[in-house]
């Protein structure tokens, strides 16, 4: 059995965060923030007290560990290139991580927690320098029982899923970066992924059961967050404490098959995708329609298609393959590829979600994107209108996912970047046909459109990060950093925060 009771370091047990801290809404932020890089004497004292905890100040390591995939945005690349921490610290246990956090607090050194750095919005870039806390060695499975898993933040999702599969269950969802992304990084910066067609987005109630974190104080608290309080930490870019452990519910284990279906037109592919997504009797995990103008540039994918066909990448349970094939035929498609998703070779899900954009960008460095949500009563009509008007200049890649219990379609149109005015114009035009926009060209937490900041979250930050050391600069209007402008803040982002 396990004990999730929150404890204080040092001291006696404490209740959950909701019981200990007053989360009553209040007006204004009024938080102290670390806005300058740490002084040399503070860093020297910090290093002197680390003891045997591994650390590194090599320039190449600092550069690598101070980056994520922000360079997928030309706007963020111009703003964030060259920003690094002064030191990378790599704890090997939760106890060492807690010690590093306490030292940062005592010496008032900015702290940016990091997993594998697979985010795309600059979450892991230390705008104020200081310490990057590399959590990848804090990576144990704590327990697996009663259809749930609890694991440390630094474990890769691949290793976590493998441990669950050995016991006859699997993760409900994971990003396309599953093979390298960490559990803590997914919770702190992720939104949805492969499996969301069944279980919804991470923020949907029940998809995250518990988060154990350490507060950034001279004497840190270890706090267990459960229930609706999880929203204060999930997708918060690591500004509200360092995640140590995560508890997730699991899904039944299936023998998955990968498949690529081809369709003569993109709208045919989208309609098939909707039919498959809403076919409750067919067990699936992934449905990703990709326009031919994108698919033809994706090495390893276009070989499974007839020239001109749109692709739909799917993961289907073995017992549902026959009705899946019948549905493909019903919509006039053909199955060009089918194989066991057995972990050999490059998984097809690495052509979907964020990987689609990544692969296209590597073929053409001018490529950029916006994130759209087709919803309401007729999302397919919105897809059709957008494809008719922009299919040649901004071809679409779609993902089917549930949000709040309803099926929705996320779209990622790809196009050649011109300037910020172009991004604003396209976003405005797409909103006029009812499409909602998330902005992937800003490192500000609340300006992307996938996260709202409310009074409860600000109250939580006051308690968890009283000195404003956690990943400073990522909340617009709260912690401004000298030299970091966040130029994409003016871009519209109607978003779909929930």
pLDDT tens for 145-171 read 999 999 999 999 999 999 999 999 999
Q: Provide the residue ranges of all domains of the chain, joining segments of one domain with +.
A: 7-139+172-251+447-490, 256-438
**Quick check: helix, strand or coil at residue 392?**
coil
* CATH topology classification for 7-139+172-251+447-490: 3.30.465
Task: Please give the pLDDT value at position 32.
Answer: 52
Name the CATH superfamily housing domain 256-438: FAD-linked oxidases, C-terminal domain (3.40.462.10)
Task: Please give the pLDDT value at position 34.
Answer: 54
Return the ∠ at Cα 161 (arms to 158 and 166), rounded to 5°.
125
Q: 158: which 2 tokens?
A: 């691949």
How many angstroms separate the CA atoms of 408 and 395, rounded?
Answer: 19
Task: Please give the pLDDT value at position 485.
Answer: 55
Q: How far is CA 191 from the centre of its chain?
A: 5
Rg from Cα positions in the chain: 22
* Residue segments in the chain with a per-residue pLDDT below the cut of 50: 1-31, 482-483, 498
Q: Would you say the CATH fold of 256-438 matches that of 7-139+172-251+447-490?
A: no
- State pTM to two decimals: 0.90
Q: Are 16 and 4 in contact (CB under 8 A)?
A: no
Residues ≥6 apart with Cβ < 8 Å to 193:
173, 174, 175, 176, 178, 186, 353
Nearest Cα to Cα of residue 357 among 265, 270, 288: 288
Residues ≥6 apart with Cβ < 8 Å to 161:
170, 171, 174, 178
Task: Please give the pLDDT value at position 467.
Answer: 94
Nearest Cα to Cα of residue 203 among 185, 225, 169, 228: 228
């Amino acid at each position: 059995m396990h004990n999730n009771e929150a404890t204080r370091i040092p001291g006696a047990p404490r209740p959950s965060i909701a019981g200990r801290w007053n989360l009553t809404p209040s007006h204004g932020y009024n938080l102290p923030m670390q806005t300058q890089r740490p002084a040399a004497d503070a860093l020297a004292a910090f290093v002197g007290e680390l003891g045997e905890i591994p650390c590194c100040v090599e320039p190449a390591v600092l550069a690598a560990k101070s980056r994520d995939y922000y360079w997928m945005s030309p706007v963020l690349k111009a703003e964030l290139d060259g920003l690094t921490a002064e030191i990378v610290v790599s704890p090997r246990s939760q106890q060492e991580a807690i010690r590093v956090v306490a030292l940062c607090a005592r010496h008032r050194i900015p702290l940016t927690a990091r997993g594998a750095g697979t985010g795309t919005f600059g979450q892991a870039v230390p705008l104020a320098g200081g310490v990057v806390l590399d959590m990848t060695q804090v990576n144990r499975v704590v327990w697996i029982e009663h259809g749930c898993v609890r694991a440390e933040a630094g474990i890769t999702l691949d290793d976590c899923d493998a441990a669950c599969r050995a016991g006859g269950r699997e993760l409900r969802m994971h990003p396309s970066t599953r093979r390298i992304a960490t559990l803590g990084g997914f919770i702190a910066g992720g939104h949805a992924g492969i499996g969301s067609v069944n279980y919804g987005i991470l923020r949907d109630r029940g998809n995250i059961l518990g988060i154990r974190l350490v507060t950034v104080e001279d004497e840190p608290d270890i706090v267990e967050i459960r229930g609706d309080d999880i929203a204060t930490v999930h997708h918060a870019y690591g500004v509200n404490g360092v995640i140590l452990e995560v508890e997730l519910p699991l899904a039944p284990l299936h023998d998955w098959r990968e498949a690529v279906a081809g369709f003569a037109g993109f709208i045919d592919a989208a309609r098939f995708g909707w039919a498959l997504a809403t076919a409750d009797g067919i067990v699936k995990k992934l449905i990703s329609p990709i326009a031919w103008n994108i698919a033809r540039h994706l090495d390893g994918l276009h070989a499974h298609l007839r020239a001109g066909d749109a692709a739909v990448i799917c993961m289907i349970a073995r017992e549902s393959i026959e009705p899946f094939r019948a549905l493909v035929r019903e919509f006039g498609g053909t199955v060009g590829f089918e194989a066991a998703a057995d972990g050999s070779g490059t998984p097809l899900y690495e052509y979907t979600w964020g990987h689609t954009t990544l692969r296209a960008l590597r073929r053409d460095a001018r490529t950029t994107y916006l994130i759209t949500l087709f919803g309401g009563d007729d999302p397919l009509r919105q897809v059709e209108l957008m494809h008719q008007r922009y299919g040649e200049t901004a071809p679409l890649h779609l993902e089917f996912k549930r949000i709040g219990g309803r099926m929705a379609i996320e779209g990622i149109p790809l196009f050649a970047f011109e300037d910020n005015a172009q991004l604003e114009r396209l976003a405005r035009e797409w909103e006029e046909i009812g499409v909602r926009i998330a902005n992937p060209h800003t490192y500000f937490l609340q300006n992307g459109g996938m996260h709202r900041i409310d009074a409860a979250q600000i109250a939580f930050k006051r308690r968890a990060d009283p000195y404003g050391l956690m990943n400073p600069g990522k909340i617009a209007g709260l912690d401004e950093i000298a030299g970091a402008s966040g130029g994409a803040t003016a871009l519209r982002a109607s978003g779909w925060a929930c």
